[in-house]
Chains A and B, each alone.
Chain A
Amino acid sequence: MSITRRKFLGWLGAASLGTTLGTTAHAASNKEFKGYPESRGVLFDNTRCIGCRKCEQGCNKVNELPAPDRPFDELSVLETKRRTTAKAYTVVNRYEKVSSPKAPVYSKIQCNHCLEPACASACFVRAFSKTEIGAVTYDESVCVGCRYCMIACPFEIPTYEYDKAFTPRVMKCTMCHPRVIKGLLPGCVEACPTEALTYGKRDDLLRIGGERIRKFPERYVNHIYGENEMGGTSWLYLSGVPFGEVGMREDLGITPAPKLTSGALSGVPMVVGLWPVLLTGVYAINKRKERIEREEKQLAVADALEKARAEAESKLAEAMEQAKKEKEAAIEKAVNTAMEEAAKAQTEETADAPTEEAAKNAGEEDA
């Protein structure tokens, strides 16, 4: 199914919005996901584990991992706490300091095949997928090697081939996916001599675990680790001592990993949707402010010009008035002078005239 879905949801496939949305309706109506119903898992019961490391050996063999530095039957290896490595998908640790006379207690670690894997949520090329049958598988052919999956995994499981220059891979337990689909048991389960490991449907395993606790309440802590941790895991654990004492973190909570980032992811479209509105808005406001400023400035300039012009005009008019007045005055003055002169001349003439007339008269008389 995952393959058809993958094809179905490539960039192009996902464009068929209707179909995609349609399929979500069924399971997503209440957005509660219960995981694949047929999902398998393994139940590890540490009260049955004798720390023989046969499971490590079985794992190493079926996965064709390189030979270990020290052989599997050397139990002194258990003296130091170990974690999974690129050469060991699973390791068993011994815990001496526990709060009961049952010491030592052994604990086996490997990928828990989470129902909501943090590694899958974190991988930006979807190299991990939770399969229907339960395993969380890794696709080496797309892995970029960013190692964000290792940051994300709360159980500190994925490892990296740091020593390879060209083909480094993330290495982790596959729950023997290739074997399981062929109907075989996972390597570790097959190798375990004490039935500390039980393979089966996760639902059944939960029931079996619950029964064991009910039947032997003094033997077990009343908790199946993995039932709800980080949204639940396919590997489940029963313990005779508090889980914290055998190196299993009890503070992980029950929030499935994808939930942890869903808030941040849902912020993304809000930023994309609203930032342009906000930013262009601010831009438009500033532009408008600038325009108004510019216009006001222009207006002010025009005003000033107008004023200056008016002033100049009035000055001119005044000046002209003045000039006119001056001119008029000048004319008047000239006229006055002229008239005065004329008057003067007349008086002089009148004074002279009798003589002339007399002379004329005299001349006529003479004639």
Chain B
Amino acid sequence: MEGTIHTLQEYMFRTETITYILIVIALFAITFFWKFLNGRDDEE
């Protein structure tokens, strides 16, 4: 039974938790990406 998900609630809890972690990562990542993308322009 360990490892099997029996309820939608449990399933959503897991997927949502991962989603939230991804969201935090994404927010940092996009910030740095924006800097990278515009790095040269800003130097000028």
User: What residue of chain A has the Cβ atom nearest to residue B6's Cβ?
Assistant: A36
**Contact in complex: B8, A24 (CB < 8 Å):** no
**Contact in complex: B3, A259 (CB < 8 Å):** no
The contact of B9 among A120, A265, A277, by CB within 8 Å, is A120
Nearest chain B CB to A300's CB is how many angstroms away?
22
Residue numbers in B under 8 Å from A269 (CB-CB): 19, 22-23, 26
Interface size on A, residues (CB 8 A): 44
Interface size on B, residues (CB 8 A): 26
Q: How far is the CA of A276 from the CA of B26 in the complex (A)?
A: 10
**Contact in complex: A280, B12 (CB < 8 Å):** no
**Contact in complex: B3, A35 (CB < 8 Å):** no
Contact A14 to B3, CB < 8 A, known contacts A126-B13, A262-B12, A272-B27: no
Contact A268 to B23, CB < 8 A, known contacts A121-B9, A259-B8, A276-B30: yes
**Contact in complex: A24, B26 (CB < 8 Å):** no
The contact of B8 among A14, A37, A231, A276, by CB within 8 Å, is A231
Candidate in B12, B19, B22, B34 with the most chain A CB atoms within 10 angstroms: B12
Does A31 sit within 8 A of B, measured CB to CB?
Answer: yes
- A–B pairs, 20, beta carbons within 8 Å: A1-B1, A4-B2, A11-B21, A14-B14, A21-B18, A22-B3, A23-B5, A26-B3, A26-B4, A28-B11, A31-B11, A33-B6, A126-B13, A231-B8, A256-B9, A259-B8, A269-B26, A276-B27, A276-B34, A277-B30
Q: Give B contacts to A, CB under 8 Å.
A: 1-19, 21-23, 26-27, 30, 34
- Shortest Cβ-Cβ A-B pairs, 4 listed: A23-B3, A27-B5, A33-B8, A276-B30
Q: Give A contacts to B, CB under 8 Å.
A: 1, 4-5, 9, 11, 14-15, 17, 20-24, 26-28, 31, 33-37, 115-117, 120-121, 126, 130, 132, 231, 256-259, 262, 265, 268-269, 272-273, 276-277, 280
